Amino acid sequence: MFVPGMDSAREAAGGVAGTVLMRFVWPHGGRSVFLSGSFDRWTRLVPMSPMEGCPTVFQAICSITPGFHQYKFLVDGEWKHDEHQPCSTTDYGVVNTVLLPGEANYNPIVGPEMALGSGMELDNETFRRVVHVSDGTATDVVPRISEADLQVSRHRISVFLSTHTAYELLPKSGKVLALDVDLPVKQAFHILHEQGIPMAPLWDFSKGQFVGMLSALDFILILRELGNHGSNLTEEELDTHTISAWKEGKAYLNRQMDGHGRAFSRCLIHAGPYDNLKEVALRILQNEVATIPIIHSSSEDGSFPQLLHLASLSGILKCICRYFRHCSGTLPILQLPICTIPVGTWVPKIGESNRRPLAMLRPSASLGSALNLLIQAQVSSIPIVDDNDSLVDIYCRSDITALAKDRVYTHININEMTIHQALQLGQDSYTPYERLNQRCQMCLRSDTLNKVMERLANPGVRRLIIVEAGSKRVEGIVTLSDIFKFLLG
């Protein structure tokens, strides 16, 4: 456990009385290695440096107090313990242990390797500050990638996206649902609910074209109109109110009218199967939409279009992860903890007034307040938290389709129904634990960018809630859009 030959210097430990310098060693290789331990309450990750002439052995020097300590290592994004050193099983999983006597001249070196148990407790300060040891002097720095490595990573991702096409997003088999613009919105509402999809392309038979998309946001706006005092749109009218009529009404609400009082005809945002993936991703980001249809026409005038697939950032991210999975070393940014890079929306710390606030609500808040917040904050989901800001559930735009079950929307007041009641619709078969784990995809601030990308590439996952381990207190949220804005610069 302890390696002789290194002088323990109480004075070198920053002048802190009762502390000594200890050298921790990880002899089992890796690309990036960090140390974390109970000696600083698991609140920091200390970067470890390869030893000169021995690149598979990493070391770090820490100032710690005498006594019993536990520690683990983060090796290439995975927690590990050193099986050749004393260890024990605790609430943090398997950890290495060290008993440091009180004599100041006891000179120790500790070697650890660590396999993360899911119970590893990392609080909200993890990765925020690390100690960098150089020439025996400890200084506080924030680990960050160099500008050169960042540009190299972005360039390689850009080259990959520019040389691969949307055709690669097409599944081997599947179906894509489209709706007729002359369909009543009430019927469309039920179709989306029954099919379990949040949006669908719109087909206009008279024009022989796909002309738009109907999404969960449309139904949020419709329900708000139904709930507004004096609204001209009643539930009975939904039986005859067509999608095209709603789209025109929506344009009027958004003041998208020309000088003659007619709605602007907004072109459908779409892609072709041979457009490159970078063009598709930028189109999604620039137009602030979740998906765009991939449409192909064999004629020059675009007649007889074929709807092939709905492209999303999730599908593109899956292509990136698959391509770089076995050569991730060519992208230096992948091993960075997400808290050290400008990605996601975080709960502002005390004194930080320039950060965009993270929208959160209590389960007792009204459904109407949730719908208003989804629109006003221009977000697709809201974490639902308890009085301690611990994650309870999440309310997404697509959850609005649950109100189509048994035509619930016809006999509720969205300002009287609570978020908790709304979330219970269609979720009664799940226990609260199952619902939290199935609906709320979570990560830690210490998770690497690579790990976050892999999880966001899974079908149906559009965001990860960043939580504090153990308490599940919400610290932030990272979305697919956040990842692509960072990757594409």
* Domain ranges for the chain: 20-100, 167-316, 327-488
Output the six-digit token pair for 427.
Answer: 């979720």
- Domain 167-316 bears CATH identifier 3.10.580.10: yes
- Condensed to tens digits (0 to 9), the pLDDT of residues 260-274 reads 555 455 678 999 999
DSSP 49-73: EEETTEEEEEEEEEEE-SEEEEEEE
What predicted TM-score, i.e. pTM, was given to this entire model? 0.67
| Alpha-carbon distance values, 214 to 182, 332, 385, 463 (Å) | 12, 40, 30, 21
Residue labelled with tokens 């000169």 = 52
Per-residue pLDDT of the chain in tens (489 residues, 90 and over written 9): 333 323 333 333 343 446 777 888 888 888 888 888 888 777 778 888 887 777 888 888 888 888 888 899 888 878 888 888 888 887 667 888 887 765 444 444 444 333 323 223 333 333 333 333 333 333 334 455 678 888 888 999 999 999 999 999 998 887 889 999 999 888 898 898 888 888 999 999 998 899 999 998 888 888 877 766 545 556 666 677 888 888 887 776 665 544 555 545 567 899 999 999 999 999 999 998 989 999 998 877 777 899 999 999 999 999 999 998 877 777 888 888 998 888 999 987 655 555 567 889 999 999 999 999 998 888 889 999 999 899 999 999 988 888 888 778 777 888 889 999 998 876 654 445 444 556 789 999 889 999 999 999 988 888 999 998 888 899 999 999 999 999 998
| Alpha-carbon distance values, 303 to 180, 208, 209, 210, 267 (Å) | 17, 7, 7, 10, 15
Mention the CATH class of domain 327-488. alpha beta
Q: How far apart are CA 441 and CA 314, in angstroms?
A: 14
| 154 closest CA partner among 34, 284, 324, 32 | 324
**Is the fold of 167-316 the same as that of 327-488?**
yes
Return the CATH architecture of domain 20-100.
Answer: Sandwich (2.60)
| CA trace torsion 148, 154, 160, 166 (10° rounding) | -170
**CA dihedral for 329, 335, 340, 343, sign (positive or negative):** positive
Q: How far apart are CA 366 and CA 1, in angstroms?
A: 57
- Condensed to tens digits (0 to 9), the pLDDT of residues 199-248 reads 999 999 998 899 999 998 888 888 877 766 545 556 666 677 888 888 88
| 329 closest CA partner among 448, 153, 154, 454 | 153
Longest C-alpha distance within the chain, in Å?
Answer: 89
Average pLDDT, the chain: 78
